[in-house]
Amino acid sequence: MKKKRIAILTGGGDCPGINAVIRAVTKRAILEKDMEVIGVEDGYEGVINNQYRKLKYDDVSGILTLGGTILGTSKTANPYRYAVKKGDHLEFKDLSGKAIQNLKKLDLACLVCIGGDGTLGIAHRLFRDSIPVIGLPKTIDNDLRGTDITFGFDSAVSIATEGIDRIHTTAQSHHRVMIVEVMGHRAGWVALYSGMAGGGDIILIPEIPYDMNRIAAKVKERNRKGKRFSIVVVAEGAKPKGGDMVIQRMVKESSDPVRLGGIGFVLGEQIEKRTGLETRTVVMGHLLRGGSPTPFDRILSTSLGTKAVDLIEEKRFGYMVGVRKNTLVSVPLKEVAKGPKTVPLNHPMIKAARFLGTCFGVE
């Protein structure tokens, strides 16, 4: 009998835990289900350009603790809006027909797409165009609908928290205001969790536009009480009331061209000017994406990956494996594709932080 063949791709930004998921899907598919596994290289770029290789058991042995992705990834390749350079300008073409034809030639039982809202949004469109697809929730931002948590988030929070811990000592020694800027796109999950874990005095997230006067007042108040330093944890997507997010650059060929970054330096200048206190900014940036996954993310990735094989066997295509109330669930990709999951204003952690005197930049 002909073996079932599945393919795996990883799209969007890298994060700890991707290789653990690839390992889980591949090992279970080979060992228990006797499937053939294809690894698509560089995300949807590989689908468009027929770049793939067979994954064997030995290819995924020893990668549980490895950061990044052995398959490579792309943040710009989108079959439905593929950027092609024509002289000095870009043109966008719909290459979905070519991508779908390439996938059908592979005679796949399923395409497993590992990614965030961009990758899984494309996966949903492929499913609607007759490709059997299963999604897996990957993002350090934790901003995917339909799941309580994504793999990569815990690792990013751990790295950010360690950075905040280290900043504390130099802030105390020099009596400075120290700003730690973390990733998160348009959601404040990383900033909220790492800010709480690291004892941030001020936490600024996109969901709560801040008042610069309130931030300055908080810093001055701490100084008057003998706390001659302050730690500010800010999400890259944070913005002032009535203002806009700080954009680092635009990547025109991307389906989401906005690249955020730099809010920490803007805040630093404003705080120093208003308080007279020396202020320094540290941008965690891509440090949050790199390195080995935490034990929690290794376990979560493995659980999600093995569950994906169940969905393949059950032919429950068009779904993502998610987590709700500590239970693995299947979530329709159409729900995931609706947009990012932001921090609710009544989140218990926001309430707890306020009880402890943490400032969110508002009254």
Architecture in CATH for domain 156-290:
3-Layer(aba) Sandwich (3.40)
Apex CA 342: angle with CA 289 and CA 323, to 5°? 70
Could you confirm whether domain 5-151+293-336 is CATH 3.40.50.450? Answer: yes
Query: What does the pLDDT read at residue 90?
Result: 85
27 in Cβ contact with 114 (< 8 Å): no
List the catalytic residues: 141
Instruction: Break the chain into its structural domains and give their ranges.
Output: 5-151+293-336, 156-290
Q: Which residues contact 40 (CB under 8 A, 6 or more apart)?
A: 7, 8, 9, 46, 47, 51, 52, 71, 111
Q: Are 76 and 254 in contact (CB under 8 A)?
A: yes
pTM of the model: 0.95
pLDDT for residue 247: 87
Structure confidence by residue, pLDDT tens digits, 206-262: 999 999 999 999 999 999 999 999 999 999 999 999 999 998 887 777 767 778 899
Dihedral pair phi/psi, residue 255, rounded to 5°: -70, -25
What's the pLDDT at 1?
66
* pLDDT score of 363 more than 90: no
Identical topology for domains 5-151+293-336 and 156-290: yes
